[in-house]
């Protein structure tokens, strides 16, 4: 994407979601700094329409990856908002604007992060700064470590991550790995680590 090829210390991209049920997702774009270098690049090179189209395409990719073809299969999200504004740095995330979900308290947040990064991996957006496959002390460390482990499990059973994600709607239990793959998660982790020489 053109936006990523620029060094834009003046742009903050925040994706915020509201948690109200609706029949369709509304994609909202707000460029609060159109007269700055980064805001002008966003306006002139990307624009609101392209950003909304990209957000919709990203949502479709996520739904396909997690096998959620019907609205009834998905978490009800009314709005996804992209905000362009000034800040110092390249990019950052404010966890409560991106990941907060009050219904998931105590529901394996690192596994949820791993599922999110699995989708990122499948979209070919894994950054070169991620550790190599096989890294990590525990499969549930979250982020790249968990994403790579879930990708390994996906290789054992096509659709595994979508099935795991569906099971996690009402909570999480390590037994999901046994149910879906026929092996305990610790055994799968050991086999994964051995495969990558760790």
Tens place of pLDDT per residue across the chain (198 aa): 333 333 332 233 333 333 333 348 999 999 999 999 889 999 999 999 999 999 999 999 999 999 888 888 888 888 888 888 887 665 555 544 443 333 444 568 899 999 999 999 999 999 999 999 999 999 999 999 999 999 999 999 999 999 999 999 888 999 999 999 999 999 999 999 999 987
Q: In terms of domains, do 93 and 107 share one?
A: no
Q: In terms of domains, do 111 and 82 share one?
A: no
Q: Please tell me what DSSP assigns to residue 82.
A: E
The residue among 48, 76, 100 that closes a domain is 100
Query: Token digits for 134?
Result: 């096989």
The residue among 59, 83, 100 that closes a domain is 100
Domain range holding 86?
A: 1-100
Q: In terms of domains, do 122 and 192 share one?
A: yes
Q: In terms of domains, do 12 and 73 share one?
A: yes
CA–CA gap between residue 171 and residue 95 (Å, rounded)? 21
Under 8 Å CB-to-CB from 95, ≥6 apart: which residues? none
Q: Count up the domains in the chain and report the number.
A: 2
Under 8 Å CB-to-CB from 98, ≥6 apart: which residues? 14, 15, 16, 17
CA–CA gap between residue 153 and residue 61 (Å, rounded)? 20
Q: In terms of domains, do 166 and 96 share one?
A: no
């Amino acid at each position: 994407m053109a936006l990523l090829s620029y060094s834009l210390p003046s742009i903050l991209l925040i994706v915020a979601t509201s948690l109200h049920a609706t029949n369709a997702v509304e994609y909202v774009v707000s460029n609060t700094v159109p007269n700055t270098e980064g805001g002008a690049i966003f306006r002139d090179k990307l624009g609101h329409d392209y950003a909304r189209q990209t957000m919709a395409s990203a949502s479709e990719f996520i739904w396909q990856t997690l096998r959620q073809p019907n609205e009834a299969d998905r978490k009800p999200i009314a709005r996804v908002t992209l905000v362009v504004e000034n800040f110092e740095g390249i990019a950052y995330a404010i966890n409560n604007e991106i990941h907060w979900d009050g219904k998931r308290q105590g529901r394996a947040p690192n596994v949820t992060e791993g599922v999110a990064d699995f989708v990122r991996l499948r979209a070919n957006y894994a950054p070169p700064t991620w550790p190599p496959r096989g890294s990590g002390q525990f499969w549930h460390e979250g982020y790249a470590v968990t994403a790579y482990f879930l990708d390994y499990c996906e290789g054992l059973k096509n659709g595994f991550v979508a099935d795991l994600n569906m099971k996690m709607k009402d909570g999480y239990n390590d037994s999901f790995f046994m149910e879906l793959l026929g092996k305990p998660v610790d055994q799968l982790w050991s086999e994964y680590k051995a495969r990558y020489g760790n």
